[in-house]
Amino acid sequence: MITKLNMILNIARDVLFEFDEQGTYLNIWTSNESLLAKPKEEMLGMRIRDILTKKEAEFYEAKFKEVIATQNEIEVNYTVTTPNGPTHFTGSIIPLNFGNIKTVILYAKDITLEEKQKLTLANIGNIAKIGAWEYDIKSGAHSWTEQTYLIHQIPVGKKIDEESFLAIYDDKSRELFKTATKLCITQRKAYDLELTLKTSDIKKIVRVTGYPIVDDKNITVKLAGTVQDITEHKKLTKDFEDQKYRLNQIIEHVPGVIFQSRLLQSGEITISYMHKTIQKIFGFTADSIMQEPSLITSNIHPEDLSDYSEKVSKSAISDTTFDWTGRIFDKDRNIKWIHTQGTPKLNSKTGEVIWDGILFDITEKKKLEFSLELKQKSLNHQLKLASLGKLSSGIAHEINNPLAIVNNVLNRITKLSKKQENPVSEIETLIELALDATKRIETITKGLGIFSRADESTYELFNVTWAVGSTMRLLEELYRSESFLVEFESPPTEHMIYGNRGRLDQALMNLVSNAADAIKVKEDGRLKVSLYFDDTYCNLKVSDNGAGIPDEIKDKIFDPFFTTKEVGNGTGIGLSLVNSIVLEHHGSINVESSQEGTTFHIRIPKKKGY
């Protein structure tokens, strides 16, 4: 008996009472007096009904009688109010026989704290939406926290049987779960599964973990683990992944290479991101460029380098878009034409400027532009030849006339010089005629400079009054023998404009030559060119009193290769050329035409930068 008592005490239960059949406290042992409802001395001899409520007391008295009668141990859980407040106990009632005297022992453990902890854990679980579960292998009993019930949408506290709760999982999940459970029991393998369950039409993805609990004899007695509803998390992860995928796709397919570069306070340029498609352009991999940005920066074409540095610092200082076009050598030293743009942002903490940018390979486009430029040049050349051809007959005539005068004057003077008397007045008249004739030849040959100037691309400030005047003198000379009247109006004061003189001459020649064609067959043809100025613009009007431009072709006249002239007569590039020259000068051109005639009006800004 003593051994048994000792053994019981050894289990280190917190309280141990001996009762008789009537519920009288016969003996009280405790490790902690505060777990008793009253002081031990007072309690001895009292009955359980003096301590507990009547209802509780009756319950225990019945239990004591049962244990004495059956001599079987029964388990109990109860709560008493101690000086510490309501205190929860769990324990057993066991029979004790001492000769004829039959008594019972109630021994119990204070589980208030554990209960509290359990409750706290359950609360934490509820907050974190993590449920816990325990499975007793021997009894097959499942014990779940509130959250585990909630996740499975099973009423809290309902007795769990495995088949019914597994029924809400899909087939695959059920198989996974069963296999994992088996392995956990037999091989003590912990598991971590993602399972799919379906409750009242809502599909959930739950994460279930499990691990084995081993007793002191090293036998797996229980499994325990957690359950977590990760549906939302999964969805967010998927959304995030989708977004990431989409972004990658965009970066991959965007026509251009996305990058991020930095200008450090030290002046060093680093590349913090470069998309891998850069390799297609430069041959270097994105990684190698990020590690060694000089692979790009030190390979910029020397002629474009200063512009590049200028654009970088301008963008950094003025916080404006970086925009640069230039040449960079690739890995094989081929020239690549690059167009790049980046939006700067200043990191005020580090003083760095960071550009998010995009880079385009425009090499092919540039090649095309160059070939078009060449084509345009040869077109201009053809046009030059065409107008030269058209004018050459006029030039021949207009040079031959004064030449004939000079020849015959000289001839006459020679004859006169052989005569005895010297008719001084006649010689003076003759010389005057000859000088006048040579002056005319000079006007024409000077004017022909137009054709050599047409290819020059220099923009400069030039005296437009003088330039237009001299071109008009040539044209007047060339049209001297035509039946139409050429008028030229120009202000008495001289004006300078910024532009390309050769190109503007070409535009004027084309307009005048078109006007001349329109009135050649007319009896009272008139061609009028007027030059005038306002504050901003230089205005040039070329009018004729020809038949006008038919309405149906008015919007086509500036198209390249559009011509109304017979094959061989017109090149079809005259007006389109005029248009492009005017656009080059940031000017405008418009045309008014009726049956009474046509007027082209060109406006060119006087100053640079309009």
Partner 1 sequence: MKRILIVDDEPALLKIFELEFEDHEELTVHTAQSGSKALILLEEYSFDVIITDLTMPEMDGIQLLSLIRDKKIDISCTIVLSGLPINMHIDKLKELGISKYFEKPYSIDQIINYVDTKCLENP
Residues that bind partner 1 in the complex, under the rule CB under 8 A: 393, 396-398, 400-405, 407-409, 411-412, 426, 429-430, 433, 436-437, 480-484
Please name the helix (run of DSSP H) or strand (run of DSSP E) that holds residue 180, with its range, or none.
Answer: helix 171-187
Question: Least separation, in Å, of the C-beta of 561 and partner 1?
Answer: 29
Question: Least separation, in Å, of the C-beta of 392 and partner 1?
Answer: 11
Please name the helix (run of DSSP H) or strand (run of DSSP E) that holds residue 393, with its range, or none.
Answer: helix 363-418
Question: Least separation, in Å, of the C-beta of 402 and partner 1?
Answer: 8
| Residue among 479 and 498 whose Cβ is closer to partner 1 | 479
Question: Least separation, in Å, of the C-beta of 522 and partner 1?
Answer: 11
3-state secondary structure of 61: helix
Question: Least separation, in Å, of the C-beta of 441 and partner 1?
Answer: 11
Q: How far apart are CA 489 and CA 472, in angstroms?
A: 10
| Residue among 346 and 396 whose Cβ is closer to partner 1 | 396
- Report the side by side order of strands in the sheet with 101-110: 25-30, 15-19, 101-110, 85-98, 74-82
| Residue among 213 and 448 whose Cβ is closer to partner 1 | 448
- Surface-to-core class of residue 344, CB atoms within 10 Å of its CB (0-12 exposed, 13-18 middle, 19+ buried): buried
For the chain, the C-alpha Rg in angstroms (whole number) is: 54
Q: How far apart are CA 518 and CA 527, in angstroms?
A: 9
Q: How far apart are CA 326 and CA 301, in angstroms?
A: 8
Token pair 């003077």 is at which residue? 413
Question: Least separation, in Å, of the C-beta of 397 and partner 1?
Answer: 4
Q: How far apart are CA 500 and CA 607, in angstroms?
A: 12
| Residue among 287 and 426 whose Cβ is closer to partner 1 | 426
b or e along 152-169 (b: 16 or more beta carbons within 10 Å of the residue's beta carbon)? Answer: bebeeeeebeeeebeebb
Q: How far apart are CA 564 and CA 574, in angstroms?
A: 11
Amino acid at residue number 609: G
Contact 176, 205 (CB under 8 A): no
| Residue among 481 and 590 whose Cβ is closer to partner 1 | 481
Q: How many CB atoms lie within 10 A of CB 322?
A: 20
Question: Least separation, in Å, of the C-beta of 329 and partner 1?
Answer: 59
Amino acid at residue number 284: F
Residues in the chain: 610
Crossing angle (nearest 10°) for helices 464-478 and 424-447: 110
Question: Least separation, in Å, of the C-beta of 407 and partner 1?
Answer: 5
* Short-list 131, 167, 175, CA closest to 150: 131
Q: Pairing relation of β-strands 485-489 and 526-533?
A: parallel
* Short-list 151, 133, 150, CA closest to 142: 133
Question: Least separation, in Å, of the C-beta of 481 and partner 1?
Answer: 5
Amino acid at residue number 475: L
| Residue among 40 and 439 whose Cβ is closer to partner 1 | 439
| Residue among 314 and 412 whose Cβ is closer to partner 1 | 412
| Residue among 430 and 518 whose Cβ is closer to partner 1 | 430
* Short-list 184, 57, 201, CA closest to 133: 184
Token pair 């010389």 is at which residue? 431
The rounded Cα 499 to chain-centroid distance in angstroms is 41
Question: Least separation, in Å, of the C-beta of 400 and partner 1?
Answer: 4
Question: Least separation, in Å, of the C-beta of 484 and partner 1?
Answer: 8
| Residue among 412 and 495 whose Cβ is closer to partner 1 | 412
Question: Least separation, in Å, of the C-beta of 546 and partner 1?
Answer: 17
| Residue among 34 and 411 whose Cβ is closer to partner 1 | 411
Q: How far apart are CA 274 and CA 359, in angstroms?
A: 10
| Residue among 106 and 437 whose Cβ is closer to partner 1 | 437
| Residue among 338 and 406 whose Cβ is closer to partner 1 | 406
478: its two tokens? 């060339």
Question: Least separation, in Å, of the C-beta of 471 and partner 1?
Answer: 21
Contact 487, 529 (CB under 8 A): yes
| Residue among 27 and 401 whose Cβ is closer to partner 1 | 401
One DSSP character per residue, 287-351 reads: HHHHH-THHHHTTB-HHHHHHHHHHHHHHHHHT--EEEEEEEE-TTS-EEEEEEEEEEEEETTTT
Question: Least separation, in Å, of the C-beta of 429 and partner 1?
Answer: 7
| Residue among 77 and 392 whose Cβ is closer to partner 1 | 392
